[in-house]
Amino acid sequence: MSTLHEECGVFGVFSQTRRPVAALTYYGLFALQHRGQESCGIVVGDDGLFRDHKDVGLVGQVFSPAVLNDLGSGTMAVGHVRYSTTGGDGRLNAQPIVVNHNKGRMALAHNGNLTNAYELRTQLEMTGSIFHTTSDTEVISYIITKERLTAPSIERAVDRAMDTLQGAYSLVIMSPAKLLAARDPFGLRPLCYGVTEDGTYVVASESCALDAVGAKFVRDVMPGEILVFEQEGVRSLSRHCGTRPHSVCVFEYLYFARPDSIIDGASVHAARLQAGRFLAQEHPVEADVVIGVPDSGLDAAMGYAEASGIPYRMGFIKNKYIARTFIQPDQSDRESKVKLKLNPIQAVVKDKRVVLVDDSIVRGTTSGQIVHLLRLAGAKEVHMMSSAPAFLNPCYYGVDVDSKENLIAVKYSVEEIARHIGADSLGYLSVEHACQIAVSGNAGGFCTACFSGEYPAGVPKYDRKSRFEQKLSERQKEEDEAQ
Amino acid sequence: MSTLHEECGVFGVFSQTRRPVAALTYYGLFALQHRGQESCGIVVGDDGLFRDHKDVGLVGQVFSPAVLNDLGSGTMAVGHVRYSTTGGDGRLNAQPIVVNHNKGRMALAHNGNLTNAYELRTQLEMTGSIFHTTSDTEVISYIITKERLTAPSIERAVDRAMDTLQGAYSLVIMSPAKLLAARDPFGLRPLCYGVTEDGTYVVASESCALDAVGAKFVRDVMPGEILVFEQEGVRSLSRHCGTRPHSVCVFEYLYFARPDSIIDGASVHAARLQAGRFLAQEHPVEADVVIGVPDSGLDAAMGYAEASGIPYRMGFIKNKYIARTFIQPDQSDRESKVKLKLNPIQAVVKDKRVVLVDDSIVRGTTSGQIVHLLRLAGAKEVHMMSSAPAFLNPCYYGVDVDSKENLIAVKYSVEEIARHIGADSLGYLSVEHACQIAVSGNAGGFCTACFSGEYPAGVPKYDRKSRFEQKLSERQKEEDEAQ
Amino acid sequence: MSTLHEECGVFGVFSQTRRPVAALTYYGLFALQHRGQESCGIVVGDDGLFRDHKDVGLVGQVFSPAVLNDLGSGTMAVGHVRYSTTGGDGRLNAQPIVVNHNKGRMALAHNGNLTNAYELRTQLEMTGSIFHTTSDTEVISYIITKERLTAPSIERAVDRAMDTLQGAYSLVIMSPAKLLAARDPFGLRPLCYGVTEDGTYVVASESCALDAVGAKFVRDVMPGEILVFEQEGVRSLSRHCGTRPHSVCVFEYLYFARPDSIIDGASVHAARLQAGRFLAQEHPVEADVVIGVPDSGLDAAMGYAEASGIPYRMGFIKNKYIARTFIQPDQSDRESKVKLKLNPIQAVVKDKRVVLVDDSIVRGTTSGQIVHLLRLAGAKEVHMMSSAPAFLNPCYYGVDVDSKENLIAVKYSVEEIARHIGADSLGYLSVEHACQIAVSGNAGGFCTACFSGEYPAGVPKYDRKSRFEQKLSERQKEEDEAQ
Amino acid sequence: MSTLHEECGVFGVFSQTRRPVAALTYYGLFALQHRGQESCGIVVGDDGLFRDHKDVGLVGQVFSPAVLNDLGSGTMAVGHVRYSTTGGDGRLNAQPIVVNHNKGRMALAHNGNLTNAYELRTQLEMTGSIFHTTSDTEVISYIITKERLTAPSIERAVDRAMDTLQGAYSLVIMSPAKLLAARDPFGLRPLCYGVTEDGTYVVASESCALDAVGAKFVRDVMPGEILVFEQEGVRSLSRHCGTRPHSVCVFEYLYFARPDSIIDGASVHAARLQAGRFLAQEHPVEADVVIGVPDSGLDAAMGYAEASGIPYRMGFIKNKYIARTFIQPDQSDRESKVKLKLNPIQAVVKDKRVVLVDDSIVRGTTSGQIVHLLRLAGAKEVHMMSSAPAFLNPCYYGVDVDSKENLIAVKYSVEEIARHIGADSLGYLSVEHACQIAVSGNAGGFCTACFSGEYPAGVPKYDRKSRFEQKLSERQKEEDEAQ
């Protein structure tokens, strides 16, 4: 039950013939909803015309049947779900963004975060460019547009732009006639594609979205690769492939991605089971029952149970109605929401020594409340296990990790945290084991920066601690005073 | 993943002093949301004044902070969640209903179904009574009002009314100064009460709602009992207790109730585990893995795994966003919703012999789709297990069982159903075992009418097959022609 | 620009054949919207089945095309617009009300106010009747239902009920097979009917609603008359006709009704012109220009100009967008809304002696603000003329006149009021002249109670000053304490 | 009752101290609502920070108290109301637009239409610029941004940009520290400013918006002038003043502007009265009564009555609820909306020879329906008078005149049109007289292009007939095919 937020999920469709691509994208975005719940959007490409709809809200709220009907059929579509990290207007920053330029139009959906967005934006502004949003996605579209002035094709423009763009990006781009999928050379964020029985190509952040639309998984987009979907079929541009060490975000396996997805060849579900098994090796305890925090802690809890031989049980009932409609009517009782969301099953935990597995511990507040609920339900001992290593560093590649002062592991030792959350003992998965969970995969390596502090793709030059938007806002403040 | 619908959940609060009872009821209704998602309502009793709000929608949609603030504080409240079975205006039939009568006002929330509603209504109309709704709850309020003309107190009026009312009813009733909880002599629907640390009494359909508001469970309301909560404390009227055999609905344990609830002394979670164990005894198969259909099939699946020794696994990922916001944009693909809602984890089921446990099989359509999904994901064999016995009869006590012609078990043999849904084998829990799942409870007996055809509280006189509302509608038709 | 509120408008349709009666009623209610803006409703009668929709809001908000489509076609419909005078739940009290009784169903729409509602309700409750609303319309439906037990037909039941009902009522009633229109013996509220080219009968509070649906005006419903629309045609029951002096509300002509309506044979527009002419006779002043307060003061202003020979001009521009969408964002500036709504045209009033005609003066606040606006725009003198006499008494027949302590004419002399609102002089139309404005009509007489204090139909027995609902609320308070 | 659409109204506030500028702008936009009803927006400037809110809808719908509260206080604000002429996404094209550029941020609100937008946009795209909207306002912001790279101040950048921009523009521009108001050298669209008692400067399209916020009118912004509002006070840049003949749109007087506004020194109300007087001179008829089509035909009708000596009367009642909430439920009766909106007063027109004055005749459909209504109400003769000359040409300066093939005056002679709409005679105001209606004003001259075909500021080079957006859409089509 983490409070970390992935910023985005992307989706794209390319068909040789006119099809209800808006509906297809709607289904795909539903399957990617966990990657972003603030806003979403779909752009349909229909014989060179673009029709789009974006708004703040969940996929099912933003896209009514009437809206989907208006978006209609076409040969291509790009979709996006977003969790906004900025305080700004969520609607303004909703994606995909659509821009009109010298050679026509372009729709662009982006998952990730540039590390040189600030420098690029400043350079663009020096030549008279204007910006409507605070998002680095607008920077990407400018860079591609500039290259497009001289590049012979949209894919060549993207290829050249990748010489300039730094950081994490999985992109789906639609021109009037082509659909592109591009992934940064480190492969920090996932991206894959598949094909349906009738030959429609589908690109998605995760394979679970391919399943949702009945598309067969073909393969992951390789780090640094650009795929071009066009009337003639699929082409690959691979000039940037292999130029950087493969560094897919390990937290995708541990928390963000859906367990039924396969990322860079490794099953997310299997990775979580394995994380639980490693946890049992690293932190063996004598206990009567292993329970997980629903839903994302359940897989690792099963892995722990399997490796330890301690029985696995359902320890909590989760109120499924809370998630989307609950608004706390008063502020008097800060624990209420966790209490309403999770109710321990007394029959399972009463008078028992309990191993409690959660996906991560960020601030420690939620963990403390959950341990407290178990104590009230009669648990004799509570041994907390985090299937993610301890968070110690910010992420510059597209995850909204809490600011350093809020990360409990930065301030306290493991023993202190255990005491703080009221657990009898506490264990984190080690970074070493975290890098071994995706055993069956073809991933060459992982980004573990938030745990280890080693940033494969570097950190923003101007400001290691703050974010792109904060930088922008400071600069504007200075300029305002100067003006 | 049943398509059966419980019609209602009730909730009540009584406090010696003025408190934010609307907020308390809001939390309680959230915990009972699974018992009715169509409409909900809260009536606050504040120094003799009643303030109410009811509407179609989920608790979190109907009760905004502003609405709760308007409802405000008081010494009492009654709440209700409803799944409407009528085609009529959901808003009109929303509960609690508030009536003004000779001795003041009364608010009434009802879970269950009368079997003599039609006769009572006809008698009332013969003396000039008018009805605003098609609900039998309005009939109950009339009967109590009539008794109140001569009864010395509201509780005595209810006590007398219980001589007239037949069928299933768990009631929470608020007069200007008292809160009552009453349960029919068969105890067909659950009802219990608890008390918070500060002495506030709380009545609820299920104990999980007591947990949600931090109330300690005191005990179940006994079949036939009337509890009176008033300034002096709690009183019990027990003239009707023990007059009928205890016959709590067994399907509450198997499907409706939340696993963290305790009904008539038995844990719902434990009952489902036990149902799974019995299933393993009755229908042993050779298999590699046991999986449950999320969420209500998981407990029984664990019980099956435990008793059979076959490993339990998470076989499906459930898209938690689907439930509340998904609207199917087209009708072309009828399987889409199940496919979007549930995605099998290939790593778990591929090339495996799978035992699939679900809570029930009603029409068979959903089961067929789920089996099909497992086949597509590579399952070698699928053995379907239903933790409820086969549905063969309508329910007249408050559950919206599909009409007989839609119940697959009425039309086909077990083998035919297995073939129909594409399973290699199929097992239902036996009715005998179903009656033994709530082992630790103090329940004297169960209603198993929908499985066995034995109706403890009788069936409606005028029409065994149709419902109260249908009867009414037919009669009106005749009268219209006559007029 | 009065702050008085008419409570209701009623509408009914009867056709020999199935027609889109919901749409027809929608158009009719649009034309009656000025008679009530809080809630509205339509009930369609279709071969004995009733389909209804009611809600808080304007006609165009409550009835979307989808809702109208659901209401669909039928042979009859009843519609209602309401301005609620109670503090209670507007939605609950929305009309038409639909009740189910011994002989079927009945839909009822009511304009007016009973004077013996409290007594009738108390008697009904003594025999066990329950009430869902605080509206006297529910009392009427009970009385009719009781009579219907023994009456051979619905029209005879209404006829007998009229022996019991006292006060003001214009009713449209729908039984499964007939549509009735009934008007109290005093004819306090208007009611008329017409017929379309294809033979559909239409009943409405005002003739402007007949125009809106293309129906030809036939005649007013006579005071005390019951009209029965049925397959065979129209029948009249006239036992109550002529039993009481005709006493139509004079304020319908002066303010409530639309100028294009004809009530009891007299044109509302012509009556207002005449009121202006009388005002000029009673209160001649030397001035340069006559202007009216839009929209309801314009007709009388023209009459004043015509009789006085002083030129008529448009003195104000009214912001037509304010009415429905404006919400005052702050409370700092109490004059803002009038200022935003009305802007004087400087070219018309600057350095001029202005005669300002408004439809009435209730509290004096708005009048003061309007005079102030004219002063700011440079008017040299402002002579205020009220085309209604001074308000001195409450209305018990269906108009929400402000409570006596707020009526400025109760507390001050004409000179004091003129000073209070900043006018150089002030004139009210005399009650004598008010009774002569509907010259061409066949009305035998008027109710002028709010001006004269003479109540043709009596006043409520129990409480001359308070309203039915207040009485009820007091009683309930007492009972609560006793219980 | 014209079907022509003004595209925009602009509003701006500058205060030396922090004030509730959002609420002030809200009031101002309410007064300008008639200039654009599709979308609206407000940007608040608060110590260099910009907060904005824009959406599709009326001012009162888009700006709830909560939204205004979020926008909050500041020293500056820019507001806009828009009637969109494009088929595209109204929300995307809502103004003011806010752009981030090299020297900070800029908010821009625009009324008018560039004639060289297409050329400028193409040039910008050739250097890599991207466009988010299809609006020419984005082109203006680019041109200013480009100039700002080298200009020493925002006002100098605007001054230089005006060398490039061609066509009609009244602009309100907000930089972090200054508010600018600029009007094109022809003065095609109105723009004026005023000051409140506490020294706050207010800029608006029309003076009625100054009245609404209690600001005293100071003067019109001169054609070609740039006003700079800053801490030190107001400054004027007048390099472009007098370089072009003053050519304010005459249709502002005849139709668009509110009668209580004063534009370029002339009262709109007085101008319409004068138009009516001229009409009476040009087209004298023998008649019994003069009536106007509410609301915009009333002033001219009074002028006609005054000059002709024929009595003026209110001939129609307008249903004020129709405008904002009416949705036609079916398509069967195309005349319904006019009939519901306007109802003739029979007492005024029956057996009369009627002069009917409307503000314009565009397609003739509405006029025909209105004449028909009068005939049904018994009018003996109907003489139609249009207070605007006949529409013969498109407008390139910001008015959405119907396409040429829909303009009835292009296809038919006056006699034919009279016959077509069913009038006994028809008269248009002459273009010569139209140019003399604003007698008291200081306007040097008028644009009468839509009547006369003489375009003072030229026509778009590339396409005389189509609009900017159509051009864009064609080009994109071509490029798509080429790509």
* Nearest CB partner across the interface for C480, out of B130, B141, B176: B176
Contact of D481 with chain A, judged by CB distance below 8 Å, is answered with yes
Question: Subunits that touch chain B (at least 3 Cβ pairs < 8 angstroms)?
Answer: A, C
In A, minimum Cα distance to D130 occurs at: A101
Q: Cβ distance D50 to D97 under 8 Å?
A: no
Contact of C314 with chain D, judged by CB distance below 8 Å, is answered with yes
Indicate yes or no: CB of C128 within 8 angstroms of CB of B105: no
Q: Which residues of A touch B343 (CB under 8 A)?
A: 31, 208, 211-212, 258, 260
Contact of A142 with chain D, judged by CB distance below 8 Å, is answered with yes
* Nearest CB partner across the interface for D317, out of C26, C260, C316: C260
Contact of D257 with chain C, judged by CB distance below 8 Å, is answered with no
* Nearest CB partner across the interface for D101, out of A101, A130, A175: A130
State residue C61's pLDDT score. Answer: 87
Write the pLDDT tens digit of every residue in B61-86: 899 888 998 898 999 999 999 986 54
Write the pLDDT tens digit of every residue in C64-86: 888 998 898 999 999 999 986 54
Q: Cβ distance D356 to D382 under 8 Å?
A: yes
State residue C383's pLDDT score. Answer: 98
* Element holding B109 (H helix, E strand): strand B104-114
pLDDT above 90 covers a percentage of chain B that reads 70
Q: Cβ distance A174 to A107 under 8 Å?
A: yes
Instruction: Please list the residues that pair with B49 across neighbouring strands.
Output: B46
Indicate yes or no: CB of A343 within 8 angstroms of CB of B208: yes
Instruction: Please list the residues that pair with A312 across neighbouring strands.
Output: A290
State residue D247's pLDDT score. Answer: 94
Instruction: Give the 3-state secondary structure of residue B121.
Output: helix
Of B272, B219, B313, the C-alpha closest to B434 is B272
Give the pair of three-digit tokens for residue C96.
């038409």
Q: Which residues of A touch B208 (CB under 8 A)?
A: 317, 343
State residue B480's pLDDT score. Answer: 45
Give the pair of three-digit tokens for residue B374.
């497992």
Burial (CB count <10 Å: 0-12, 13-18, 19+), residue D435: middle
Write the pLDDT tens digit of every residue in C148-200: 999 999 999 999 999 999 999 999 999 999 999 999 999 999 999 999 999 99
Ranking A247-251, B35-39, C108-112, C147-151 by mean pLDDT, the lowest is B35-39
Q: How confident is the model at residue D89 (pLDDT cuts 50, 70, 90)?
A: low
**CA–CA–CA angle C46, C51, C57 (5° rounding):** 135
Q: Cβ distance B288 to B352 under 8 Å?
A: yes
Give φ, ψ of A349 to 5 degrees: -110, -15
Write the pLDDT tens digit of every residue in D270-295: 999 999 999 999 999 999 999 999 98
Please tell me which residue, C11 or B294, carries the higher pLDDT value.
C11
State residue A254's pLDDT score. Answer: 92
Q: Cβ distance A169 to A140 under 8 Å?
A: yes
Report the largest interatomic distance among the alpha carbons of chain A, rounded to a whole angstrom. 73
State how far the Cα of B187 lies from the Cα of B207, in Å rounded to an integer: 16
Write the pLDDT tens digit of every residue in A381-419: 999 999 999 999 988 998 877 677 788 999 999 999 999
Q: Give start and end residues of each alpha helix (H) in B180-267.
A: 207-212, 250-251
Within 10 angstroms of residue C213's Cβ, the number of other Cβ atoms is 24
What mean pLDDT do residues B441-466 have? 78
Report the largest interatomic distance among the alpha carbons of chain D, rounded to a whole angstrom. 73
Instruction: Please list the residues that pair with D173 across neighbouring strands.
Output: D108, D180
What mean pLDDT do residues D45-71 have? 90
Q: How confident is the model at residue D401 (pLDDT cuts 50, 70, 90)?
A: confident
What mean pLDDT do residues C12-18 have? 96
Instruction: Please list the residues that pair with D447 across neighbouring strands.
Output: D249
Instruction: Give the 3-state secondary structure of residue C61.
Output: helix
In D, minimum Cα distance to A132 occurs at: D99
Of A68, A82, A93, the C-alpha closest to B326 is A68
Of C399, C433, C444, the C-alpha closest to C264 is C444
State residue C273's pLDDT score. Answer: 94
How far C129 CA lies from chain D's nearest CA (Å)? 40
Transcribe A116-164 into DSSP letters: SHHHHHHHHHHTT--BS-S-HHHHHHHHHHHHHTTSSSHHHHHHHHHHH
State how far the Cα of B319 lies from the Cα of A292, in Å rounded to an integer: 18
State residue A429's pLDDT score. Answer: 97
Size of interface B-C (CB pairs under 8 A): 110
Contact of B177 with chain C, judged by CB distance below 8 Å, is answered with yes
Contact of A121 with chain B, judged by CB distance below 8 Å, is answered with no
Question: Subunits that touch chain A (at least 3 Cβ pairs < 8 angstroms)?
Answer: B, D
Size of interface C-D (CB pairs under 8 A): 156
What mean pLDDT do residues B178-183 have? 98
Write the pLDDT tens digit of every residue in D434-480: 999 986 666 568 999 999 999 999 998 765 334 444 544 555 554 44
State residue C38's pLDDT score. Answer: 87
Indicate yes or no: CB of C343 within 8 angstroms of CB of D214: no
Indicate yes or no: CB of D103 within 8 angstroms of CB of A141: no
Write the pLDDT tens digit of every residue in D293-335: 998 899 999 999 999 999 999 999 988 776 545 555 554 554 4
In A, minimum Cα distance to B259 occurs at: A317
The CA–CA distances, whole Å, from D287 to B65, B139, C39, D160, D421 equal 63, 69, 44, 58, 19
Write the pLDDT tens digit of every residue in C220-274: 999 999 999 999 999 999 999 999 999 999 999 998 899 999 999 999 999 999 9
What mean pLDDT do residues D347-365 have? 93
How far C326 CA lies from chain D's nearest CA (Å)? 5
Instruction: Give the 3-state secondary structure of residue C437.
Output: coil
Tell me the pTM: 0.82
Instruction: Give the 3-state secondary structure of residue B389.
Output: coil
* Nearest CB partner across the interface for B101, out of C125, C154, C175: C125
State how far the Cα of A381 lies from the Cα of A374, in Å rounded to an integer: 9
Q: Which residues of B touch A23 (CB under 8 A)?
A: 329-330
Q: Which residues of C touch B131 (CB under 8 A)?
A: 99-101
Give the pair of three-digit tokens for residue A258.
């859906």
Of C16, C14, C22, the C-alpha closest to C72 is C22
**Residues of D involved in catalysis:** 8
* Nearest CB partner across the interface for B33, out of A34, A259, A321: A321
How far D37 CA lies from chain A's nearest CA (Å)? 21
Of C330, C361, C358, C320, the C-alpha closest to D260 is C320
State how far the Cα of D258 lies from the Cα of D239, in Å rounded to an integer: 31
Please tell me which residue, C473 or B414, carries the higher pLDDT value.
B414
Write the pLDDT tens digit of every residue in D137-151: 999 999 999 999 999
What mean pLDDT do residues C456-482 have? 56
* Region at A72 (left for phi over 0; alpha for psi -120 to 50; beta for the rest): left
Instruction: Give the 3-state secondary structure of residue A49.
Output: strand
* Nearest CB partner across the interface for D99, out of A98, A130, A145: A130
Please tell me which residue, B133 or D207, carries the higher pLDDT value.
D207
* Residue from D19, D304, D325, D337 to probe the interface with C (highest C Cβ count within 10 Å): D325
What are B400-407's contacts with CB under 8 Å, separation 24+? B400/B4, B400/B5, B400/B6, B400/B7, B400/B83, B400/B85, B401/B4, B401/B362, B401/B450, B402/B3, B402/B4, B402/B362, B402/B363, B404/B465, B406/B362, B406/B363, B407/B362, B407/B363
State residue D331's pLDDT score. Answer: 47
State residue C72's pLDDT score. Answer: 87
State residue B89's pLDDT score. Answer: 57
Contact of A265 with chain B, judged by CB distance below 8 Å, is answered with no
Instruction: Give the 3-state secondary structure of residue B395.
Output: coil
What mean pLDDT do residues B310-334 have? 70
Residue A223 DSSP symbol? T
Q: Which residues of D touch A483 (CB under 8 A)?
A: 103-104, 154, 175-177
State residue C465's pLDDT score. Answer: 38
Q: How confident is the model at residue D9 (pLDDT cuts 50, 70, 90)?
A: very high
What mean pLDDT do residues C409-419 have? 94
Indicate yes or no: CB of C101 within 8 angstroms of CB of B483: no
Of D300, D258, D265, D259, the C-alpha closest to D279 is D300
State residue D168's pLDDT score. Answer: 95
Q: Cβ distance A23 to B332 under 8 Å?
A: no
- Contact partners, residue C332, CB within 8 Å, separation at least 6: none
State residue B104's pLDDT score. Answer: 83
> D and B: touch, per 3+ CB pairs < 8 A?
no
Give φ, ψ of A28 to 5 degrees: -65, -45
Q: Cβ distance C276 to C307 under 8 Å?
A: yes
Q: Cβ distance B33 to A319 under 8 Å?
A: yes
- Contact partners, residue A436, CB within 8 Å, separation at least 6: A274, A278
Contact of D49 with chain C, judged by CB distance below 8 Å, is answered with no
Angle of helix C414-421 relative to helix C365-376, nearest 10 degrees, comes to 50
Indicate yes or no: CB of D104 within 8 angstroms of CB of A481: no
**Residues of A involved in catalysis:** 8
Q: How confident is the model at residue B462 (pLDDT cuts 50, 70, 90)?
A: low
Ranking A202-216, B237-251, B434-448, D269-283 by mean pLDDT, the lowest is B434-448
Indicate yes or no: CB of D321 within 8 angstroms of CB of C60: yes
Give φ, ψ of C30 to 5 degrees: -55, -45
How far C224 CA lies from chain B's nearest CA (Å)? 25
Q: How confident is the model at residue C334 (pLDDT cuts 50, 70, 90)?
A: very low
What mean pLDDT do residues B385-402 have? 88
Instruction: Please list the residues that pair with B19 across neighbouring strands.
Output: B74
* Nearest CB partner across the interface for B330, out of A23, A211, A259: A23
Give the pair of three-digit tokens for residue A405.
């002062």
Q: How confident is the model at residue D399 (pLDDT cuts 50, 70, 90)?
A: confident
Indicate yes or no: CB of C483 within 8 angstroms of CB of B175: yes
Contact of D225 with chain C, judged by CB distance below 8 Å, is answered with no
Of B176, B162, B170, B153, the C-alpha closest to B235 is B153
State residue C319's pLDDT score. Answer: 83
In chain A, % helix, strand, coil (3-state, to 5) comes to 35, 25, 40
Indicate yes or no: CB of A60 within 8 angstroms of CB of B214: no
CA atoms lying within 13 Å on the CB side of residue C269: 18
State residue A479's pLDDT score. Answer: 46
Tell me the pLDDT of chain D averaged across its residues: 88
Indicate yes or no: CB of A345 within 8 angstroms of CB of B269: yes
State how far the Cα of A247 lies from the Cα of A237, in Å rounded to an integer: 20
* Element holding A408 (H helix, E strand): helix A408-411
Chain mean position to CA B79: 15
How far D329 CA lies from chain C's nearest CA (Å)? 5
Give the pair of three-digit tokens for residue A180.
């592109």
In A, minimum Cα distance to B329 occurs at: A65
State residue B466's pLDDT score. Answer: 43
State how far the Cα of C393 lies from the Cα of C402, in Å rounded to an integer: 9
> A and B: touch, per 3+ CB pairs < 8 A?
yes
* Nearest CB partner across the interface for D130, out of A99, A481, A483: A99
Across the 483 residues of chain A, what is the mean pLDDT of every consecutive 10-residue run?
66 96 94 91 93 90 89 95 64 87 90 93 90 88 94 96 96 97 97 96 97 94 97 96 94 92 94 96 97 92 96 89 57 60 91 96 90 95 97 88 81 95 97 86 80 92 50 49 40
State how far the Cα of B73 lies from the Cα of B58, in Å rounded to an integer: 22
> Would you state the torsion angle of the CA atoms of residues D335, D336, D340, D342, taken in this order, to the nearest 10 degrees?
0
